[in-house]
A = this chain, B = another copy of it.
């Protein structure tokens, strides 16, 4: 008796979240009927449906998604892993992902690798345990092993890579055509009369660096100029790295009159280095870069052009691709590729 009472009290205090069972009991019907009513199942009486819905509203009833996730083996959750959100490119990409995801009742789990391979692995592991339905990944710039991705593949968990893509076979990707973007940029410079064009590139190992270099060479050759390897410097993309690259370029006998940089962040550092060394005053150097930071229109010596990579659209497309795979019953949906054509945006804000 005492126990019974305690139980009742606990029950009351806990302010339990209502369940179908309770609704069923209060209405003297079965849980299956409640379930059917709540889901507008065709074979359910109008009467009962109305009674159920009414009581549900009254009790503030809400489906327990964790039970449904568990039951359906589907969580309506996608894991997004990217280097870091402070890069505008990625925060815009995630908006694209989120918008499409939300429209389709999906929710987004985020993890930043901070360009650390171990972290990337750890994030994938926990997200996998959370049973996300799929992944959207832009890999860390320092990731050199792909076991964690291979593992997901083995377990049949769909994934879409965008922007920073591992060199693996048979994966789904969304990316920008960096090579043609580079060609456009270099061509613009050549047309404007620049003849000595430097390239501050990223780590040689990255595909993204190779694509830039290829485009650079192609554009140079197309204009019947000869490729001067001394004008191309590979860096680790840090501020220090950029400064060293600038030092090297500026002391070279053929000082570049224009420089193409790996991205806008590198351009900012490069411009700053030049200014500190009073280079702008004597001989102006024009910059062109990737990524098109919104802050470009505010900076002191903005790049004369930027290669827009449409991060928002890349995010959208990645999520759309993932949805497509998830919707497909037969899981043989691999090797989906989307290539987005970049656009050269000439910066005329201040000129």
**Within 8 Å CB of A62, what residues of B?**
128-129
For chain A, the count of residues having a C-beta within 8 Å of the partner chain is 53
Q: Within 8 Å of chain B (Cβ to Cβ): is A143? A: no
CA distance A114 to B73 in the complex (A): 32
Render A80-106 as a binary contact track against B, CB cut-off 8 A, 1 for contact.
000011101001101100100010010
Contact mask for chain A residues 116-160; partner B; CB cutoff 8 A; 1 contact, 0 none: 000000110011111100000000000000000000000110000
Does any Cβ of B come within 8 Å of A295's Cβ?
yes
Indicate if the CB atoms of A107 and B105 lie closer than 8 Å: no
Of A27-35, A63-71, A211-219, A252-260, the segment with at least 4 beta carbons within 8 Å of chain B is A63-71
Rounded to whole Å, the gap between the CB of A215 and the closest CB of chain B is 26
Instruction: Say whether B131 contacts A112, CB under 8 Å.
Output: no
Of chain B, the residue at the smallest CB distance from A76 is: B130
Output the nearest chain B residue to A294 by Cβ-Cβ distance.
Answer: B86
Partner of A98 from the list B108, B110, B130 (CB cut-off 8 Å) is B110
Check: A300 CB closer than 8 A to any chain B CB: yes
Report which A residues bind B (CB closer than 8 A): 15, 17, 60, 62-67, 69-70, 73, 75-77, 84-86, 88, 91-92, 94-95, 98, 102, 105, 107-112, 114, 122-123, 126-131, 155-156, 268, 271-272, 293-295, 297-300
Could you give 10 example pairs across A and B, Cβ below 8 Å? A65-B131, A69-B70, A77-B109, A77-B130, A85-B94, A105-B126, A109-B110, A110-B110, A298-B299, A299-B300
